[in-house]
Structure 1
């Protein structure tokens, strides 16, 4: 299903949702990837577009870099910080240095990580959830099949192409008694699958990511002109929506699929450029906030500039919405995640305020999403996921709680309890960033009607192997840390208890994977949310993301820049303001919505006290 939306959008410029949806269903059996899709992807990367001067970024990311107009477009290959590690040097899973297979990811998950519930004393669920929004905006591995690797009896289905199902140990205390032998895992499409002439693939394969590589809200607007056409209303600059009790939501469709379950006539799925919109309630809610924010901006700009046509209103609203999102991402969210001082030292942010520009765009660096970031390091923060979501009143009283596993890919609850869930998002504590993972994602991920589900930690480890991510010890060395020569050398960053667990799982200290070893490190100086090895990778990724984007909101380039008064307004953006402006009937929130409520340091205040971006600065804007 994750392949299908993009597949249809590339092949068919359909403006009617019904035809598009029917074509998705019609082509479901054409997976993993057919010749037409291969040809279209290859063509995208072969033909250079004619770039026109514009202050608006293209929907597909082309022409962001004038000298290299194809840099950053959809279906680009994941890049690498270190060379790939595959068993055969090309694509098979790496093995132990002893020559044996590495242990099952499920075995690692159950023997390394705990399932204790330890709440974070500082941060709300919004902190975790915004990180997932950014992850989805930046990358999306193209899955090679929509079918499950495991049959209805939970045994291997060898007919599914590119299946590397996760084996379940015979002594697994939760799954073995239910006769579960495998967990679904389908490998991602790579460049050798596409085989784009004349560039024949030599050596290790590189996987494909479907959206643009830029932080540009592609999850809302799409990454191809065909997606964009389906999602726009072409009236007043607005995005298409459905209405419930006078409130806007993404358009509905009612055909069940792998990423959204229809169990009754009351169920529906949300239409988006990214099918993961339906994955979990809080993820959906934030995407609804940004959809509503676009339309809120468009309506206000229309009042201020009644002479603007649909295209002008749409492009200006998209531009402002993305700018606000980038500001919140780097100056409100990432400063917690990577540490304020660390980001200043690494020139990811600056202590600028008001109307000062930042002019360090680097046209010589290619915009990239690094494999090690998207498919190993960044997945560590699944540890923050809270498995039970609180529904709260405006006075922040708990009405009820829901289990995450009951609402994976079932968005109907969104419209039934939109504000109650939203208040929980910015009030409830997330799980602590540690070695504990909620059982809702270790045993019940995407369970639907089953009595069990998948294991997200096991899937994360397997995805690292799928993408040939180099080992933990190699990254320690690459990041300037001492290379371990014995198990004991890991004690500089990992506790003795965790090193003992690693010894019981891996045959050699050299076998430890980045997606495991990196998650066990002690946090850097209590100023970030990761250890030094993963922090090193995050620094590389988020520096690249900002300095390679010619349209970055702080740019002073006359061709793309906001005016100084406009930039000063963008810098008033906050997640709290997004929450206030786009909830149904919420009137109060704490100013720092990623931080827990504190009566003295971060009290709940009326929304009127949250700074507002003054859109009048765009009156009669050129």
Structure 2
């Protein structure tokens, strides 16, 4: 039973990615509002009307009723939260300035002068390590965008008529872009609560931006975050999700309309339709989303065999519940233990030592579930450093067939169906880039280039997004994280190498100007136990602790209303990314057990999929 009804305008599912309820792209009319009146009304209404929560072991699609006493906590289209107060130039919404009163340096200038375009491969981790992190990022947040128009469309000049445009200026001496007469990079600010102007919640002080999915780790990238999205994605037969077929294998439904989220260049091209437009963004991201789509349908079919009396709704909800549980287990016990370090995870009570069927009852109903601005729009983006710009296509014996450039396949997913397993093997075999201050040229100069000879700069966009969201500065977070507050440039030498401090001096007017996403990205890694320095680690711990303990439906919960049985929980704990890969590839038969780690014949050998532990679904037999 749906807990409450939204009244939204839906467009036929198969026609357009842009027709989905998420409606990131807003009406581009001649009024001054960056948000359509319909979208405003719908978002305001969903945050005004409290649903009547029904007891259920299944989480709602929009995140409501996760907390029964605060039924709107964590729902879709919530505001980003903050660890520290916002920093805006006018205290409300304009970009912050230097403490000298001058404008901060161009993000493109910072990107080019602070970071190095150099390929340094990580000796320990595969591309899957980086790519799974992006899956989690997309599942947790997505800033509501104001328009799909470009604000640098006319001869690469800033078009001030485009609403919410704050284009990134390109320095006149930019060695790559200036010779091509590129003067700015496209950047549209995210929609905030002042843009919505909800009658019952007048905004006072600094604005807060809107994030479209639920705040929980609930695979909203697959299932959606509204009833309307969910309805469009389900087949309503045997618990299955809608798919298209290629040579008998399932893929997301196709759409043949081009958009900024998918480039259609020929009659053979198509977009994938999903609850998250970013599904088409890059080949490996798309592949993992296909794995989770197939996993849902695999689970539904197996459950139907075990329980032939279950109807479509029961099969769908149980498959979704198991799929999310497996995903949460891999996120915290396999991926985050690398990202944050095992001991940090244990010390901060994000994971626990347990017996196979032991519950972990650490749910805190008094703590509000949040996605912190500082995490989603600054700190977590540092890991774009791990992106590898050239993807290898591999045979089953792990021989390289060919390589493709990432910039040739942004938002062009057709290659997925042509080389699904070859790309998938590369995902779990090829080394990612090292987590450091080096970035691949493919993302610094050719991001989303399509038919142009150049593209955007992902690092510059990350820095500009932090300014858009008013993220407090690096030095403030050092103090928040109980580290030494710098009083001069030299004080940064305790965490940042001298060469990088010298670069910062050349770019920023004052040591107080250094932004969180910049300063944090240059810190020395903490004792080789994590993939970040201490300031960013502090933010990650705060975020991922909150994400776990505020989710009443967390897979380890022993709450009788939502809990798996003990035998079922023990099976969920057999989950792994390697198993997801084996079960949902086309014809792959071998993989290393720790798929985020580079294979090693002694410590992490490639083995037959039959040796990878399997979740026994017979424990769900009724």
* d(CA) in 1 for partners of 2:603, 2:178: 49
- Give the TM-score normalised by the residue count of structure 2: 0.96
- Give the direction of change, closer, same or farther, for the CA distance of 1:126–1:6 in structure 2 (3 Å limit): farther
> Per-residue CA shift, 1:222-280, capped at 9, x if unaligned?
00000000000000000000000000000000000010000000000000000000000
**Which segment drifts farther, 20-29 or 527-536?**
20-29
Q: Are residues 53 and 398 of structure 1, via their aligned partners in 2, closer, same or farther at CA, if it must alter by over 3 Å?
A: same
Displacement of 1:302: 0.1
Shift in Å, 1:32: 3.1
Describe the SS at the equivalent of 2:567. helix
Q: CA deviation at 1:28?
A: 13
Taking the aligned partners of 1:351 and 1:154, their CA distance within structure 2 comes to 55
SS of 2:340's partner is helix
| Deviation at residue 158 of structure 1 after TM alignment | 1.3
1:308 to 2:300 alignment = no
Residues 151-175 of structure 1: per-residue CA shift (max 9 Å, x gap): 1411111110010000000000000
Structure 2 counterpart SS, 1:243: strand
Mapped partners of 2:96, 2:260: distance in 1: 29
What is the CA-CA distance between 1:329 and the residue it aligns to?
Answer: 0.1
Contact 1:14–1:230 under 8 Å retained in 2:
no
Q: Is the 8 A contact 2:189 2:468 kept in 1?
A: yes
> Kindly tell me: are residues 179 and 139 of structure 1, through their superposed partners in 2, closer, same or farther at Cα, counting changes over 3 Å?
same
Change (3 A) 1:420 1:581: same
The answer to whether the 8 Å contact 1:165/1:185 transfers is: yes
Matched, 1:322 2:324: yes
For residues 472-503 of structure 1, what are the alpha-carbon distances to aligned partners after superposition, in whole Å with 9 as ceiling and x for unaligned? 00000000000000100000000000000000
RMSD of equivalent CA atoms: 3.1
| Aligned 8 A contact 1:125 1:425 in 2 | yes
Partners of 1:347 and 1:543 within 8 A in 2: yes
Deviations 1:126-181 (A, max 9, x none): 00000000000000000111101101411111110010000000000000000000
SS at the partner of 1:121?
strand
**Contact 1:9 1:224 (C-alpha < 8 Å) held by counterparts:** no
Structure 2 partner of 1:188: 190
Q: Conserved in 2, the CA contact under 8 Å of 1:17 and 1:230?
A: no
Aligned to 2:598: 596
CA contact (8 A) 1:2 1:146 kept: no
- Tell me how far 1:23 sits from its aligned partner: 13
- Say if 1:54 and 1:15 are closer, same or farther in 2 by CA, change over 3 A: farther
Kindly state the Cα deviation for residue 17 of structure 1 after the two structures are TM-superposed.
11
Q: What TM-score, normalized by structure 1, do the two folds share?
A: 0.96
The Cα of 1:353 is off from its aligned counterpart by 3.4
CA contact (8 A) 2:8 2:21 kept: no
Are residues 23 and 377 of structure 1, via their aligned partners in 2, closer, same or farther at CA, if it must alter by over 3 Å?
Answer: closer
Q: 1:445 to 1:13 in 2, by over 3 A?
A: closer
Question: Cα distance 1:359–1:496, how it changes in 2: closer, same or farther (>3 A)?
Answer: same
* Equivalent in the alignment of 1:392: 394
Task: Point out where structure 2 has 5 or more consecutive residues left out of the alignment.
Answer: none
The number of residues matched between the two structures is: 618
CA contact (8 A) 2:386 2:435 kept: yes
For each residue in 1:39-89, what CA deviation from the matched residue of structure 2 results, as whole angstroms up to 9, or x when unmatched? 110000000001000000000000000000000001100000000000000
* Cα separation, partners in 2 of 1:228 and 1:27, compared to 1, 3 Å: farther
CA-CA distance at 1:18 after TM superposition = 8.8
Question: Displacement of 1:8 after TM fit?
Answer: 5.0
Structure 1 portions without partners, runs of 5+: none
Whole-angstrom CA distance in 2 between matches of 1:6 and 1:258: 27
1:443-483 Cα distance to aligned partner (Å, 9 max, x none)? 00000000000000000000000000000000000000000
Measured after TM superposition, the shift of residue 301 of structure 1 is 0.2
Deviates more, 1:358-367 or 1:30-39: 30-39
1:33, distance to aligned residue in structure 2 (A):
1.3
Q: Does the 8 A contact of 1:269 with 1:411 survive in 2?
A: yes
User: Are the equivalent residues in 2 in contact too, given 1:15–1:230 (CA < 8 A)?
Assistant: no
Give the Cα separation in 2 of the matches to 1:511 and 1:22.
Answer: 36
- What is the CA–CA distance in structure 1 between the aligned matches of 2:35 and 2:222, rounded to whole Å? 25
1:552-593 alpha-carbon deviations (Å, 9 max, x no partner): 000000000000000000000000000000000000000000
Alignment of 1:172-571 (within 5 A): 172-571=174-573
Structure 1 contact 377–537 (Cα < 8 Å) conserved = yes
Q: Is the 8 A contact 1:569 1:614 kept in 2?
A: yes
Shift in CA distance, 265/371, structure 1 to aligned 2, threshold 3 Å: same
Q: Does the 8 Å CA contact 2:33/2:195 hold for their aligned counterparts? A: no
Flag the 1:52–1:2 CA change in 2: closer, same or farther, 3 A: closer
* C-alpha distance after superposition, 1:337-377 (max 9, x if no partner): 00000000000000113000000100000000000000000
Q: Distance in 2 between matches of 1:17 and 1:81?
A: 33
SS of the aligned residue for 1:111 comes to helix
